[in-house]
Chains A and B, each alone.
Chain A
Amino acid sequence: MSLPWIQHLILAPVLLPLLCGAFLLTINETRHSLKFWLNASAMLLQVVIAVSLLILVDGDYWEANIGVYLAANWQAPFGIAFLVDRLSAMMLLLTSLLGSCALLYSMMRWSRIGVHYHSLFQFLMMGLNGAFLTHDLFNLFVFFEVMLAASYGLLLHGYNLARIRAGMQFIAVNLVAALLFLIGLALIYASADTLNMSDLAARLPYLSESNLDLFRIGAGALAIAFLVKSAMWPLGFWLPTTYSAASPPVAAMLVLMTKVGVYVIFRLWLLLFANDDPSVAGFGNYLLFCGGVITIGFGAFGMLASNTLGQLASYGAIISSGTLLAVLGLSNPALIAPALFYFVSSTLGMAAFVLLIELTERSNDPLAALLAVTRQAFEYEDVPEQPVGVGIPAGMAFLGLSFAACSLIIAGLPPLSGFIAKFSLFHQLLTHPLSVDSLLFMFSVLFAGIMATIALMRFGVRTFWGSGTISARLHLSEALSVIVLIAMGFALTILAGSIFGYMERSSTDLQNPALYIERVLAEPMIPSGGKP
């Protein structure tokens, strides 16, 4: 007997980039376009796989809408289980779409300034996809390291001084975080004798008090490792330097990598600590909430203090991480679906913004923008000569409109998806009895929104309405990738109803750990004839 081939589709998002990346290594670096098109077709194939997994998961192909793949046909708690549910299928789709756009952006220029860009890109995709699919904590560590190793290479791609300085910090911070991750894993294994996430959730209620203490310490160490990646306030100082130094397509992927930390925290916290068992229920939620709110504040002030668009984008990403962590910390089940919508919307908005930055700065002397902001800060009166009768070139019009659309999504202003996400969060908070925490949360999100609006408007006005701009030289591929990302933001707005339905369903799944425990531990092995 063998598995139906559709079952193997669960592993395809890991295997395909691995094989493609390895194959790309063998092709000579001078054959740019061949490498690009191979990479692009692998990315498109990943989009197709992600869409089909999404359809399968949301349809009724698998029992309870959870697909389980037992690696090497080992029964669940012993071998490594891969699991695809609505949340991970959504993340796979988001990753492959974002990756495709970043790759398209790098077609003309960025993929050519160093070696092995395409292989590293595929290995990064492998790490990301694996982190979304795996249901084993140690395997998660392995995929995190694959992802990080590829991202170190990509961050240093186009070796210059700024990237080396940023890389030194980024790698050191992540190596220390990886060690903490390992300590957390070891403590969890010591206390619960398992690393399978569902098995862990099943065993938690039966742990003795001393083992439970060990488990709490382990979960805390693990959380610190993830929070370093998702840049919660005291742990996220590496982020602005790294984002500003990375080349734009890599920065777009880094936006997603920040969200991987948030994803893992969502997955683990909802699976392990959302059950009714009072011994561990709500573990660390209050810390997550406080950290999230402080992170929002830190990001808001950071945005105001930013001198460059790169820093502005970094602090925007910090705000969005903080919002998600604070929502999880509020431990209100009704908030998970809007939070997932916010997750997707802010990731797309930030990625488009990061790509846009470089296009804007290319057409605009970055020093002029910096001077403009400084001049404003010191109220230095210098009326620039007004250009009379100059029409708006198409390139600038495109950049200006895209900048406005990204700003609307990031700041959460109507009518785009950022507004819908925040509105639905607030709506859920207001329909429940109000507490001090929820008021604090709403206040900080609104405050961050206003700060983001001010900071973005200041840059927008100085960049697009100021004098001295030269016409932008854009490649079609670069413009197209920004357009696609923003179009997805529009699609989120227009199709908000059906997408929200999906988020609601995935939030219901996520808040039923018993479902995962049953599906993973009861997944049958494929009987073989005794011989391999």
Chain B
Amino acid sequence: MELVLAIAIGVLFGSGVWLVLRPRTFQLLTGLLLMSYAVNLFIFAVGLIWVDHPPLVLEPDEIDTSNYADPVPQALVLTAIVIGFATTALYLVLMIGSRGITGSDHVDGKE
């Protein structure tokens, strides 16, 4: 499972980098999205991948931490998703504005 996740992150990030280096704004935006997916998965994977391990402590006493997944990366990834989404949406607005004013979808505003 680690291998699958690692390959998925690598493919997402690699495609993202390639798209970010392209000249069209839409490609750039898609690239940023793919890269942020990869980064979010990466943060999630940092807490190690568990099955059947909830991130919550349910027992009132006698806590065995090996039965629980690390909750911090999950909290981090939620925040990162929200922030990444908001900033990407902001970029989308700018992209539409730029397309309207310059009449071109090139990142420099001209062909």
Q: List A residues at the B interface (Cβ < 8 Å).
A: 138, 141-142, 145, 148-149, 152, 156, 159, 161, 164-165, 167-169, 171-172, 175-176, 178-179, 182-183, 185-187, 189-190, 195
A167 and B46 CA atoms in complex are apart in Å by 33
Find out whether the CB atom of B80 lies under 8 angstroms from the CB atom of A182.
yes
Q: List B residues at the A interface (Cβ < 8 Å).
A: 20, 25, 28, 32, 35-36, 39, 42-43, 46, 72-73, 76, 79-80, 83-84, 86-88, 90-91, 94-95, 97-98, 101-102, 107-109
Find out whether the CB atom of B87 lies under 8 angstroms from the CB atom of A189.
no
Contact of B91 among A138, A145, A171, A190 (CB under 8 A): A171
Instruction: Tell me which of B87, B98, B101, B108 has the highest count of chain A C-beta atoms within 10 A of its own C-beta.
Output: B87
Shortest beta-carbon contacts, A-B, top 9: A190-B46, A186-B46, A186-B43, A165-B109, A164-B98, A179-B39, A145-B83, A182-B39, A171-B91
A residues in contact with B94, CB < 8 Å: 152, 156, 164, 167-168, 171
Find out whether the CB atom of B20 lies under 8 angstroms from the CB atom of A176.
yes
Find out whether the CB atom of B109 lies under 8 angstroms from the CB atom of A178.
no
Q: How far is the CB of B13 from chain A (nearest CB, A)?
A: 9
Find out whether the CB atom of A145 lies under 8 angstroms from the CB atom of B39.
no
A149 and B42 CA atoms in complex are apart in Å by 24
A152 and B107 CA atoms in complex are apart in Å by 16
Question: Given contacts A161-B102, A183-B42, A186-B42, are A175 and B79 in contact (CB under 8 A)?
Answer: no
A161 and B88 CA atoms in complex are apart in Å by 21
A431 and B28 CA atoms in complex are apart in Å by 52
**Shortest Cβ distance from A78 into B: residue:** B72
Instruction: Tell me which of A145, A169, A179, A195 has the highest count of chain B C-beta atoms within 10 A of its own C-beta.
Output: A179
Find out whether the CB atom of A176 lies under 8 angstroms from the CB atom of B73.
no
Q: How far is the CB of B89 from chain A (nearest CB, A)?
A: 10
A residues in contact with B86, CB < 8 Å: 149
A51 and B83 CA atoms in complex are apart in Å by 32
B residues in contact with A195, CB < 8 Å: 72
**Shortest Cβ distance from A166 into B: residue:** B109
Contact of A138 among B20, B25, B35, B79 (CB under 8 A): B79
**Shortest Cβ distance from B32 into A: residue:** A175
Find out whether the CB atom of A164 lies under 8 angstroms from the CB atom of B76.
no
Find out whether the CB atom of B20 lies under 8 angstroms from the CB atom of A178.
no
B residues in contact with A164, CB < 8 Å: 94, 97-98, 101-102, 109
B residues in contact with A182, CB < 8 Å: 39, 42-43, 80
Find out whether the CB atom of B97 lies under 8 angstroms from the CB atom of A159.
yes
B residues in contact with A148, CB < 8 Å: 87
Contact of A179 among B28, B35, B76, B95 (CB under 8 A): B35
A211 and B38 CA atoms in complex are apart in Å by 22
A168 and B109 CA atoms in complex are apart in Å by 9
Question: Given contacts A175-B87, A185-B76, A189-B73, are A168 and B35 in contact (CB under 8 A)?
Answer: no
Find out whether the CB atom of B32 lies under 8 angstroms from the CB atom of A145.
no
Find out whether the CB atom of B108 lies under 8 angstroms from the CB atom of A165.
yes
A residues in contact with B42, CB < 8 Å: 182-183, 186
Question: Given contacts A164-B101, A186-B46, A189-B72, are A149 and B90 in contact (CB under 8 A)?
Answer: yes
Q: How far is the CB of A217 from chain B (nearest CB, A)?
A: 12
